[in-house]
């Protein structure tokens, strides 16, 4: 049996080595660049929750740029340094992959999106989509269909119900679906067709869920990209979005996979 002094000395050396290793790991994490994520505006609330859990689990830091999927796709194709691109339509993911900016092997569908008509409390709320043609709705906001998938879905739903030409003079276009929602919350328009994810937890203001059959599926997907500062962290975040924890959060905001029911269907 070694002397007590020798054992104590060995233990002190081991403890010092452990503390030094831990300090180095912490310093490495602190020096590491954040994970930079370009994400569709409909993901703003859900991804904020997902990032809080991911950061607590991994020590990584996530920085988001939320906006119109079409505009974000163009930025990435032109060289913007993102680690992850989470799109509101899988076609834009295909675009950045074809441009060589993102890794095809990491493409992963994560949700189907839904649209809803939101109005402020105290204003007449539509009982059906057709009510938007009523004169009491003087201005209606949708995301710009030229580059925003939720705007494209809104237009498709209005066209399917023979409403597009009737409401077109009333339309105000937001750059993305989040800005579209803000146009209504600030009282600048009477109603807005937005993503369910931005209103599903709103218990104070009325909103109407639009039937999924009224527009083509909003097939959302993400991909890891190659020009960001933290590729390994980006791939880890992308996997976490589709993990059990990530999917639980997504479902709470109305993001489901094909065949899954939406809690807001009523």
Domain boundaries, the chain: 31-112+218-252, 115-214
**Domain covering 115-214 assigned CATH 3.90.1150.10 in the classification:** no
What are the structure tokens assigned to 101, written together? 């900016």
Each residue's pLDDT tens digit, 164-219: 999 999 999 999 999 999 999 999 999 999 999 999 999 999 999 999 999 999 99
Each residue's pLDDT tens digit, 4-22: 455 455 545 544 454 444 4
Q: Looking at residue 21, what is its pLDDT? A: 47
In this prediction, residues 98-109 reach a mean pLDDT of 97
DSSP for the chain, please give it: ---HHHHHHHHHHHHHHHHHHHHHHHHHHHHSPPEEEEEEGGGHHHHHHHHHHHHHHH---EEEEEE-HHHHHHHHHTT---SEEEESSHHHHHHHHHTTSB-GGG-EEEEEE-EEEE--TTSPPPSSGGGGGSTT---EEEE-TTT-HHHHHHHHHHHHTT-HHHHGGGEEEESSHHHHHHHHHTTSSSEEEEEGGGTTT-SSS-EEEPPGGGS--EEEEEEEBSSSS-HHHHHHHHHHHTSHHHHHHHHHTT-B-TTPPPTT--
Q: CB-based burial of residue 24 (10 Å sphere; 0-12 exposed, 13-18 middle, 19+ buried)?
A: exposed
Q: Do domains 31-112+218-252 and 115-214 have the same CATH topology?
A: yes
Each residue's pLDDT tens digit, 27-82: 444 468 999 999 999 999 999 999 999 999 999 999 999 999 999 999 999 999 99
Torsion-angle region of residue 128: left (phi > 0), alpha (psi -120 to 50) or beta? Answer: beta
CATH number for the domain running over 31-112+218-252:
3.40.190.10
């Amino acid at each position: 049996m070694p002397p007590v002094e020798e054992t104590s000395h060995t233990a002190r050396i081991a403890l010092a080595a452990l503390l030094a290793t831990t300090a180095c790991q912490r310093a490495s994490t602190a020096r590491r660049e954040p994970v930079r994520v370009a994400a569709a505006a409909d993901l703003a609330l859900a991804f904020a929750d997902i990032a809080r859990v991911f950061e607590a689990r991994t020590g990584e830091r996530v920085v988001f740029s939320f906006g119109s999927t079409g505009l974000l796709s163009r930025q990435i194709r032109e060289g913007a340094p993102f680690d992850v691109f989470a799109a509101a339509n899988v076609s834009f993911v295909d675009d950045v992959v074809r441009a060589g900016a993102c890794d095809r092997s990491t493409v992963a569908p994560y949700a189907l999106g839904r649209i809803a008509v939101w109005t402020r409390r105290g204003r007449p709320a539509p009982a059906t989509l057709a009510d938007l043609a009523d004169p009491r709705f003087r201005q209606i906001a949708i995301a710009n269909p030229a580059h925003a998938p939720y705007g494209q879905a809104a237009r498709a739903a209005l066209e399917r119900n023979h409403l597009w030409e009737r409401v077109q003079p009333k339309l105000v276009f937001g750059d993305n679906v989040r800005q579209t929602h803000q146009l209504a919350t600030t009282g600048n328009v009477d109603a807005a067709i937005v993503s369910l994810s931005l209103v599903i937890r709103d218990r104070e203001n009325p909103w109407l869920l639009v039937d999924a059959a009224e527009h083509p599926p909003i097939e959302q997907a993400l991909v890891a990209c190659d020009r960001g500062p933290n590729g390994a962290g980006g791939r880890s975040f992308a996997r976490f979005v589709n993990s059990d924890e990530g999917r639980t959060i997504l479902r709470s905001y109305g993001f489901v996979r094909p065949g899954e029911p939406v809690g807001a269907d009523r």
